[in-house]
Every structure is written in structure tokens, then in C-alpha cells.
Amino acid sequence: MKPPFAPASGPSDPRIQQPFRTLFMIKFNDQPGAPPAEYRADSAGFRATDLAPSPEAVRHPFPSPRVVWLTGMVRLRSEFLRWVRISCLVSLALGGVASLLPRAADARTGNIVLAVSGNETMSSELKELSQDFEKQQPLTGDALGVLQGAQAVASRLSTALRSRGFYDATLNATIDGKPIADASALEALESRPDAEAATINISIDTGPRYRIGSVAIRPPGAPQSLPGIDPAGIGLAPGDPADASAIIAAQNKLLEELRKQGHALAAIKDREVIVDHATREAEVTFVAEPGPLARMGKVRFSGTEKVDTVWLQRRVPFKEGEAYSPAKVEALRGKLTSLGTFNAVRIKPATELDAGGELPIDVELTDRLQRSIGFGVSYETQLGFGVEGFWVHRNLFGQAESLRLSGEINHLGQGYAILDTGFAFRAAFRKPDWWLPGQDLRIEAAALREVVPAYTRKAATFYAGFDRTFSPRWQARVGLATEIADITRNGITQSYRMLGLQGTVLYNRANSDLDPTRGYRIEFNVQPWIDTGPGGDMFTILRLTGRHYWDIAEPGRTVLATRASFGTEPAISIGGIPPDKLFYAGGGGSVRGFVYQTAGPLDAYGNPLGGASVVEANVELRQRIGQAWGAVAFVDAGSAYPDFLPNFSQLPPRVGAGVGVRYYTDFGPIRADVGLPLNRRPTDPPFGIYVSLGQAF
């Protein structure tokens, strides 16, 4: 039996599961002698079937008057059918939307009302936990869904209480006075109007907090304590709160201590926590299996197709047979990642020792693209835009030798387009492990035109030296530098032929080079120079700079950064020091709010003179907002001075303050700062804007 409104002819479509109704039907024939086609417009769309030729059509190859009339209508059929198809689709869409409206009206909602007594700290944590749960999983749906959501909230709160050591806590959760664990709570929800939000009342009494009664560390199958491990050294002691996170942290600390003692395969087999409700104490026992003492084994490299693995073996910071230490494994990781030639370094120590008691280590390397290009943009209000592009090869000869070629155009948008534009072309080569492990050869050359408020400088420079890493904290750089320069100042051009020795010592305890959040750095720089030209002047640049970073709130979220710097230039005559070698203050990396180089002595025309000494101090509060954004507030102070030692009575430091935003990326933060000069002079602009890559310090 055919369903109601089924098509009169043609095969049935298995995709059509519901009856449909014919809206209208058109028969036409636009080809002489061809059978007419039948088009139906119905609730399921449009379909066409060929009709068998009628005897009349066979006898008369030419269309009858009736067919002629239909043939004329064929010319309009495409447009007509298109509009009918659109109308049907719109009708079906509106019907689908309308069918959803009653469901939306049926959705119920629930709100948590939490009341906590007892421990105040735990009360704040529970309220925050409840609010987070409602944001992530709102109590909406039918009555059963709202009830199940309320039960999930209560379960999570109960788990949080126990994990913090509140084993005697009481929790009562009700809906209209009905406990949420009873069926009557569901009936209470269903009896409410759909549009009325249900209130889930949760009252908690935290009760007293349990404490740690004892801490024991023993090997498997033995009642006695494990020798060589002091329970007090794992951060958990009798009298501490019985906090689950603290117990887990102590377990991780125990495993770390065992491995530091040379037990590379140490494992925690079990963790027992027995809670005594009578004494309100918890007895914690760690069952630890140290395993045998291990020695460092052979390192095997795989994955790389570009870097010489025989050369990589020379960068391994330990020898086979040395006592095992996790710090040596991390040092190996640092040695490999610092090359900059690998996208990923995966270190996999073996799961068992070899016959000689050594632990083999497999290192899987993923090569990075050897060549890349990039660019950077900077901006300062008074100096204009700067644009830099570079090309770098990270593995020139197969041993991570790098070559970087860069070009820069700066001072854009300031003054005359050509005369006031600066540029620089630089080449830098680095050869890791030159002559000695941990010692990198550096060769640098540049041709530049520098346009700054104090002078205009055209120069060719060359540097050759090496960087030496003595330890993860101590680094040094020393090299020989030469310069040939023509410097114009106040319309007078002087030529210099400089030869100098550059030396830097860095002590680094900061946790990051790109965006540090804790720790400090101390850097000392010394540069003796001699003018090999007719002047023959000699002088030495000395500068000491310290930076400190305090992580004062949630890790990495709120950081107080400070910087202090002092420099002096002992010389026979200050007038013999080239203008580019004098000290200046002001600008994005010094005293924000003042034009670059102008926070110091000025001539009668407002041009910076520079000085033989400098003092700078910076304080900056950095606050992360979300994952990618941040805000800062800062105060900068400093000035250059004409004498070898600063004279604050002669020239007070310039002070600037302001705010800024940060956008954090994988390659460092992008910063934009606005600085205001607090002790502004008549020649100083009212503000400065600074945009660049990286933190100010």
C-alpha cells in the first residue's frame, strides 16, 4: 500500500521517510517528438519524471496547440522553478527554527548559594571553586540535568575538602529543603515553573584541619626506614597540614632526591596515607625502590640529517662512567638546544642499566629549517620608524655554524627623506665550540649611517672574538674591534680610526633570557680604546648594570622588575672621546618620556652633548592579563654627566613615568609604551611612544 500523497509513478526514493504533499505540477514538451516531462513541486523538493509517449504524440510529430502553449511557458520555467525552490527551502528552515523554540522554553536553570563556616582560607577556595564550576558547566537543562549538576558541584567541593585535610567537614546541599541525594529533590524541581531558576543551597562546616602525624620512607617488603634519605628533606614533616598536594609534592621530591644520589631507576612503588579520626592525624608512608647506583652511559643521537653527530658527541657535557646525575642530563639538553639548529630535543634514558652499570641515553633530534628570513619594526615618537630584515643560515658547514645577514633602515618619517635616514648592513658569523668546548668564535662586520640627535655617523666596523661559557651562571666575551668613522656634529666632521678591546662578564641567575620573571643578572663591560689616527687619544669605557626580577604573586603573572646602571669613562681629555663613545641617557631603553640621548647636558640649541658618566634607574610593574596580553606601569630616572663622576647638584636626573601594554609571543613580548617626562624642560616634547620587540630590560 502506498502512503498518503505518494507519487503516482516513478521509483520510490529510499531517503524519503516521511509522506509529502504535491503543491503543483507542470507538464511540458520543448522538443518535437520527445515525451513530455512532469515536474512536481512538493514538501520534499523538486523531482522530474519522463512520461511515456502518448499515442497522439506518436501520430503527430509536431506539437498540438495545447503543447505549443506549454512550450511558450517553458521559457520561464527556469526562473520560476528557482524561486519556488528558494521559497520551499526558506519555509523548511523557518519551520526547523520554530520547532526548536519550545525546547528552549523548556530549559531550566539553577544557581548555587554557598555558605561556608570554619577555616577562612578554605572558605575562599571553595567559593572560587564553585564559581569556576558554574562558569564552565552552567546548571541548565531539564530538571534531572540541573539536579545532576548540583550533585556534581557538591561532590567536587567534598573532594576539595578532603584533599586539603578537612576530613571531618560536613556538607548539606538542598533544593527547597530537600536533600539533593533524595528523589524528593527531583520532584521539587519538576514542580517549579520552567522559567523560575532553582536555588541550590550548600552549607559547609570545614571543621578542624587534620595534621601529619608521621612520615616514613621504606623499601618494598621491609618495615625499616630507607637509609640515606632524611624525611625532613622532602618538604613534609609531622605537624604540617594533611594536604594532598603537599603529600604528592613530597613524593616527587623524594624521587628527585633518590636520583640526585645516583639512583637513576628509582621508583615510588606505593603511597600509604592512614587517617586516624581519633587523633585527627594522618600517617604517611612512601614505599620507594631506589634501584642500583648508576653511571652515565653512552649517548646515542638519532633523527638529524643535517648536523654532524660525531661533532655532537664533543658537546656531551659528561664522560661515560661518571656518576649519574639528573643535572648532567639537563646540561646535555641545554648544550643541544642552545645551538638553534633543532626544533625538538627528546632525551630518553634507558629503562635498565647495561652490563657495566651504565645508563645509556638516546637523544631524538628534529632538524629545524636551516635557512629563514624575518623582519622587525620599531618606533619612537621623535626618532620615527625603523625597519629591519634578515636572512640566517643556522648550519653552514654541518657543525651548527651560523651566518646572519641583516639590513636596517631607521629614522623614517623624520626630517628630509634622504638626508635624515639612517641605515645599517651587518654580517655575523658564529662557530660553536671553537678550539675548546663551550667557546664560540664570533666574527662581525657592519657598514652603517647613524642619524641621532647628538651626531650623524658614517662608519665601517669589524669585530673578532669569542664567547666563553664557564657554567650555567657565568659567561664572558672578549674580542678585538676596529672602526673607521666620520662623525658630523654641529656641522663639523671629524674622522676617527679606532682600535679597541671589548670585554664583558655576565653573572646570570634569571629564569629566562627573553622574558624573565624571577632572579637577577649582573653585567660588567670594559672597553679600552685608542685612536690610531692623528689624535692618538686613549680612553676606557666602564659600565656596571644590574637587573632584578621579583615574582610577587601567582607564578609569572605579576612581576616587579628593577634595573640600575652606572658608567664612567676615564680619559686624559673628554674632548678626545668620539661622540658615539660618550654616554647618553633617554629613550625606550633608558629614560622613557625623554627623546633618545637627551636626558643629559644640552648645548644652546638643545642638542645632546653626551657625558663621561651616566646613572640610570628603572622600576617596572608587569601584570599578565589572560594568556597573551599584559600591562605595565613604570618609572625611569637617569642622566648623563660631563665629568667622570656624576654631580647631582649640577644636573638632577631626568624622571619619566608611564604605562604600556605587552603582547606575548613564543619569540618574546611585543611592547608598546607611553612615557611622560615628569621634570620636563622647555625643549622636551610632552610624551614619547615606544614600540619594539622584547621587554625594556
Verify that 216 and 337 share a domain, yes or no.
no
Q: In this structure, are 189 and 317 located in the same domain?
A: no
Q: Cα-flanking dihedrals φ and ψ of residue 455, to 5°?
A: -170, 170
Q: Which of 53-62, 91-100, 525-534, 685-694 has the lowest mean pLDDT?
A: 53-62
Q: Tens of pLDDT along 612-652?
A: 999 999 999 999 998 899 999 999 999 999 999 999 988 89
Contact residues for 535 (Cβ-Cβ < 8 A; gap 6+) = 496, 576
The answer as to whether 76 is a domain residue is yes
- The answer to whether residue 453 is domain-embedded is no
Same domain as 653, residue 521: yes
Do both 303 and 174 map to the same domain?
no
How many distinct structural domains can be found in the chain? 5
Q: Between 244-260 and 326-337, two packed helices, what is the crossing angle to 10 degrees?
A: 90
* Residue 489 located in a structural domain: no
Please tell me whether residues 190 and 300 are part of one structural domain: no
Cβ pair 569, 577 in contact under 8 A:
yes
CA-to-CA distance for 167 and 608, rounded, in angstroms? 70
Residue 466 lies in a domain: no
Q: Between these two residues, 24 and 566, which has the higher pLDDT value?
A: 566
DSSP-assigned letters across all residues of 280-307: TEEEEEEEEE-----EEEEEEEES-SSS
Whether 48 and 119 map to the same domain: the answer is no
pLDDT tens-digit map of 61-103: 334 433 333 334 444 455 555 555 666 555 555 555 444 444 4
Cross-strand bridge partners of residue 73 = none
Are residues 674 and 555 part of one domain? yes
- The CATH number covering residue 275 comes to 3.10.20.310
Range(s) of the domain holding residue 281: 211-289
Same domain, 629 and 547: yes
Q: Identify the domain boundary among 51, 82, 102.
A: 102
Report if residue 384 sits inside a domain: no
Taking all residues of the chain, what is their mean pLDDT, rounded to a whole number? 84
In a domain, 266, yes or no: yes
- Inform me whether the pLDDT recorded for 57 exceeds 50: no
On whether residue 191 sits in a domain, the answer given is yes
Mean pLDDT score, 436-461? 94
Q: Which of 237, 261, 289 is the last residue of a domain?
A: 289
Tell whether the model's pLDDT for residue 48 goes beyond 90: no
Give yes or no: residues 568 and 621 share one domain.
Answer: yes
pLDDT at 5: 35
Domain ends where: 102, 125, 149?
Answer: 102
Q: What is the DSSP string of 361-424?
A: EEEEEEEPPSEEEEEEEEEETTTEEEEEEEEEES-SSSS--EEEEEEEEEEETSSSTTTT-EEE
Mean pLDDT calculated for residue range 673-697? 92
Spatial neighbors of 482 by CB under 8 A, at least 6 apart, are 461, 462, 463, 498, 499, 500
Distance CA 122, CA 468 (A): 51
Query: What pLDDT score does 78 carry?
Result: 54
| Across 422-426, average pLDDT | 94
Residues 604 and 534 in one domain: yes
Question: Which CATH number is 682's domain given?
Answer: 2.40.160.50
Nearest to 681 by CA among 582, 602, 597: 602
Rounded distance, CA 11 to CA 22, Å?
16
**Are 611 and 552 part of one and the same domain?**
yes
Which residue's C-alpha cell is 614619547?
688
* Assigned domain for 407 exists: no
Asked whether residue 120 falls in the same domain as residue 172, the answer is yes
Q: What angle do CA 612, 615, 619 make, to 5 degrees?
A: 160
**325-381, pLDDT tens digit by residue?**
999 999 999 999 999 999 999 999 999 999 999 999 999 999 999 999 988 888 776
Q: Which of 14, 73, 46 has its CA nearest to residue 38?
A: 46
